[in-house]
Amino acid sequence: MLGKLKDIIRLIRVLAVRLVAGCKARDLETVGEAVLVVAPHPDDEVLGCAGLVQRLLSTGRQADVVILSGGGRSHAGCCGIDEASLVENRRQLSRRAAGIIGLPTERLHFLDYPDGGIAFDNAETGRFRQLMAALKPDSVFVPHRGEGWSDHLAAGEIVRRLTEEEKASVRVFEYCVWFWYYNSWNIDWHQARVLKMSPEENRKKQQAIDAYVTPLAPCGRPWSGVLPRVFVNACRWNKELYFEAEK
């Protein structure tokens, strides 16, 4: 009975993703000359924004990625691998994936917020503030506010608070990762923007996703833990969906 219900929910999710993919939204247009992508965990930046990062770099603009946590909880309740080596391995995957999409290592930044406990009231927010001040991005990309996953919501919340502190006008965009799992039936089409990837950009995005989901930890599961197929497949679409946040 429970298994059937799960199948039905899974089917609804697949259909919702298809529906979104078939609809027309405006193209993602000006995002400025300097863009910062904020990922709560290693892999969010690639799942949500690998096409965007490639497009920015190939058109001579500045792209930076900051990964807020090391993802050290992805095997909690699994194999008891120690968090430090888990984090080191996941960061290694981040560097590899960045190399695939052409992001130079010095443009990839790591912070040490706790996995599962990302919050504004953490000492790391001081480092995050310094990074924003150094990079002076025109636009910041954060996970969608309907992601249904506390670290993802907290990432957006921290950026909104930091940009409010700054008097400069920074535009905030939202990208989609767990959105496809939790929120794809609740789309604000007015704010939706789409980036269509070239076949080459899409091919590199697939490779970068594979760089994250294929390598296995000693226990035999992917370093990130096992992610639901529905949303990983949605992220393999040849377009990326964004939302410009309301002021």
Q: Which two tokens stand for residue 213?
A: 């989901």
- 62 or 150, CB closer to Zn ion? 150
Q: Is 79 in the site for Zn ion (CB under 5 A)?
A: yes
Binding test (CB under 5 A) with Zn ion, winner from 13, 36, 41, 158:
41
Binding test (CB under 5 A) with Zn ion, winner from 38, 40, 100, 192:
40
Beta bridge partners of 38: 66
Q: Is 90 in the site for Zn ion (CB under 5 A)?
A: no
Rounded to the nearest whole angstrom, what is the least distance from the CB of residue 26 to Zn ion in the complex?
Answer: 27
Rounded to the nearest whole angstrom, what is the least distance from the CB of residue 244 to Zn ion in the complex?
Answer: 21
Q: Is 75 in the site for Zn ion (CB under 5 A)?
A: yes
Q: Is 44 in the site for Zn ion (CB under 5 A)?
A: yes
Rounded to the nearest whole angstrom, what is the least distance from the CB of residue 115 to Zn ion in the complex?
Answer: 9
Rounded to the nearest whole angstrom, what is the least distance from the CB of residue 37 to Zn ion in the complex?
Answer: 13
Stretch that binds Zn ion, among 1-9, 42-50, 62-70, 98-106 (CB under 5 A): 42-50
- 20 or 153, CB closer to Zn ion? 153
# of chain residues touching Zn ion (CB under 5 A): 8
Stretch that binds Zn ion, among 32-40, 50-58, 122-130, 184-192 (CB under 5 A): 32-40
Cα–Cα distance measured from residue 13 to residue 178, given in angstroms and rounded to the nearest whole number: 11
Rounded to the nearest whole angstrom, what is the least distance from the CB of residue 169 to Zn ion in the complex?
Answer: 28
Q: Is 219 in the site for Zn ion (CB under 5 A)?
A: yes
Put residue 152 in one of left, alpha, beta given phi > 0 → left and psi -120 to 50 → alpha: alpha
Cα–Cα distance measured from residue 175 to residue 2, given in angstroms and rounded to the nearest whole number: 32
Contact in structure between 47 and 191 (CB atoms under 8 Å): no
Q: Is 244 in the site for Zn ion (CB under 5 A)?
A: no
Beta bridge partners of 67: 39, 110
Site string for Zn ion, 137-176 (x = CB under 5 A): ----------------------------------------
- 17 or 177, CB closer to Zn ion? 177
Interacting residue ranges for Zn ion, rule: CB under 5 A: 40-41, 44, 75, 78-79, 219, 221
